[in-house]
Amino acid sequence: MAVQPLCYRPNRIVNEYIVEPSAIPWRQGRVAGITFKCQVLLSGADGGPEALRFRFDPCASVFAHMHLTSQFQLLLQGRMDFPKSTMKLRGPAIHYTDHNFPYGPFAVADSHDMLVLHPKQGGLISMADRDARRQINLKARHLYGAAATAEWTLMTEFAGLRCKPLIPPAAGPCAVMLECPPLSRLNLPPTPYGRYEVVLSGSVSVSGRTLLPPGFRYVRDDSGVVSPLEAGPGGATLMLLAFDRDACEGGLTGEGLSVAAAAAMERAI
Amino acid sequence: MPNENATAPLPVVVFADFICPYSYIALDQMDDLLRDYNIELLWRPHWLHPEVPPSGAPIPAEAATDGRRAQTLAWLKEMAPERSAHMRFPDRIQFSLFAFEALEFAQDHGLALPFKTAVFESLWADGRDIAQFSTLQAAAAKVGLDSEELGRALSAQRYRKRVHDALQLARDAGVTKTPTFVLGRYRIAGWHYYEVFQTVMEKQNVLLRSALDNSSPPAER
């Protein structure tokens, strides 16, 4: 079921994937009575990043589960309610977990639409699996933030550019919204562990391609050479999601729990 | 790092509030942990709603809907199917302070663990108001405490300062989630699976109770 990214340019210095979701078909999914639509945006089958888009039908309880890699959930619209009283996400919002960290159960509603973004294939493990619970990452970080509760800050070094940190860089992995004026050029810093750059509104040109919401680029570089982004004539709002060293942990190793995780993800999507 | 004195029980502290449903469903896990491992278990207060008066307060409108209640019940059913099957949700946010004071009384009489269970069950299984002295006295009588003496202690606020000190201890310890478990060198914020607690025990080389000469759980300290 490997789906190749629309643009894959492996390079010794930079790995860059550019994805336009509008060109990718939707699938119908059903797991444990939960129904959803799904797009496989990046399969990760080439050893690169794995990106999925889900639209869950309204559901009071999506079962608790974990993935064997770091994950950003970017809630584009709708709502996701978690048991924690302060964790009632309304899009746009972000939810990050380190590898092997369970989350949920959670409720979804209101035209839910979400990107699930991994630095590599992460599989799927239901927490009903008692053996899997013994492999929960005890030191994992669990971070979240919502656009509605963060403040815009003017970036003085870039004319007209504003940013809104949903998960500040000090946390390790970070999630930052950027509002770019029309035709502004954005040279982003190096990203040794990988970064998703998702268009939330407006348009962006990158490497000769134009991206509309929720198109994105995933980039990982070791040298600092990353092609710039350029906002379209109407400007753009972006969500930058950068992994840290946890992105190097876990993954589908072909052994133990990862075999079941890979099979479960295959069944789900 | 191994537990340097493997025969000494590992201190396990649960910071919780009686009005928290996730603390309620942690009861069985902690009882199982005490049954299975060489630990010393202590429940300490973490007051979720100090702003609520003794008469209670309305549940916020957004949390009082049928949909939200069904959602919470569905989550609890996944987390703790047996406990959740008998849960009754209160129609107001209850006042916890008197119950915390009563817990101190129970601790002084060596019955804090069964008493805290009785208080939780009064609220979550029987649907009673734990701000009422009569509820706490009934829970006390159920576990063999002197309910009349408890009533006098509550009226005289005999344990009020001790509770405030305990609440300050929770704040000083940085407790923000309920329940929060401190298991030796590990801290787990929020409800978690029993298997996670088992892993934490093993990482600290905590002995199974079956491996000790005297395999019954210890009396309370």
What ipTM goes with this model? 0.84
pLDDT at B1 over 80: no
Residue with tokens 């729990």: A257
Burial of B49 (0-12, 13-18, 19+ CB in 10 A): middle
Note whether B193 contacts A133, CB cutoff 8 Å.
yes
* Per-residue pLDDT at B14: 98
- % of chain B with per-residue pLDDT over 90: 85
- B48, B20 Cβ separation under 8 angstroms: yes
Note whether B71 contacts A60, CB cutoff 8 Å.
yes
- % of chain A with per-residue pLDDT over 90: 80
Nearest alpha-carbon partner for A135 in B179, B186, B203: B203
Tell me which of B152 and A268 has the higher pLDDT.
B152
Note whether B78 contacts A134, CB cutoff 8 Å.
no
Among candidates B67, B70, B78 on the partner chain, residue whose Cβ is nearest the Cβ of A63: B78
Most B CBs within 10 Å: which of A65, A66, A85, A89, as the mutation test of the B interface? Answer: A85
* Per-residue pLDDT at A223: 73
Tell me which of A137 and A256 has the higher pLDDT.
A137
Nearest alpha-carbon partner for B33 in B16, B9, B53, B52: B9
- A193, A248 Cβ separation under 8 angstroms: yes
Q: What is the pLDDT of residues A211-257, one digit of tens each?
A: 999 999 999 987 767 889 999 999 999 999 999 999 999 999 888 89
Calculated CA dihedral for residues A104, B20, B12, B82, nearest 10 degrees = -70
* Per-residue pLDDT at A155: 86
pLDDT-derived band at A16, boundaries 50, 70, 90: very high
- A30, A63 Cβ separation under 8 angstroms: no
For the stretch B53-69, what's the b/e string if a residue is b when 16 or more beta carbons lie within 10 angstroms of its beta carbon? eeebeebeeeeeeeebe
Q: Is A246 helix (H, G, I), strand (E, B) or coil?
A: helix
CA B101 – CA B80 distance, rounded (Å): 28
Amino acid at A161: L
- Look over chain B and give the mean of its residue pLDDT values, rounded to a whole number: 93
Q: For A117-140, what is the mean pLDDT?
A: 95
Amino acid at B206: V
Six-digit token pair at B74? Answer: 């569905």
Chain A residues whose CB is inside 8 A of the B79 CB are: 64, 105
- % of chain A with per-residue pLDDT over 70: 94
Q: What is the pLDDT of residues B159-172, one digit of tens each?
A: 999 999 999 999 99
* Per-residue pLDDT at A269: 85
CA A212 – CA A156 distance, rounded (Å): 27
CA B183 – CA B198 distance, rounded (Å): 11
* Per-residue pLDDT at A221: 87
Size of interface A-B (CB pairs under 8 A): 49
- B52, B89 Cβ separation under 8 angstroms: no
Most A CBs within 10 Å: which of B17, B180, B195, as the mutation test of the A interface? Answer: B195
For the stretch B193-214, what's the b/e string if a residue is b when 16 or more beta carbons lie within 10 angstroms of its beta carbon? bbbbbbbbbebbebbebeeeee
Nearest residue of chain A to residue B72 (CA atoms): A83
Most B CBs within 10 Å: which of A34, A59, A61, A137, as the mutation test of the B interface? Answer: A61
Chain A residues whose CB is inside 8 A of the B49 CB are: none
Among candidates A81, A127, A138 on the partner chain, residue whose Cβ is nearest the Cβ of B199: A138
Chain B residues whose CB is inside 8 A of the A134 CB are: 195, 198-199
* Per-residue pLDDT at B64: 81
Chain B CB within 8 Å of residue A32 CB: no
Q: For B13-21, what is the mean pLDDT?
A: 97
* Per-residue pLDDT at A13: 45
pTM: predicted TM-score of the whole model, two decimal places: 0.89
pLDDT at A1 over 50: no
Q: For A176-187, what is the mean pLDDT?
A: 95
* Per-residue pLDDT at A171: 86
Chain A residues whose CB is inside 8 A of the B177 CB are: 84
Note whether B78 contacts A64, CB cutoff 8 Å.
yes
Chain A residues whose CB is inside 8 A of the B190 CB are: 83-84
CA A254 – CA A245 distance, rounded (Å): 21
CA B132 – CA B47 distance, rounded (Å): 17
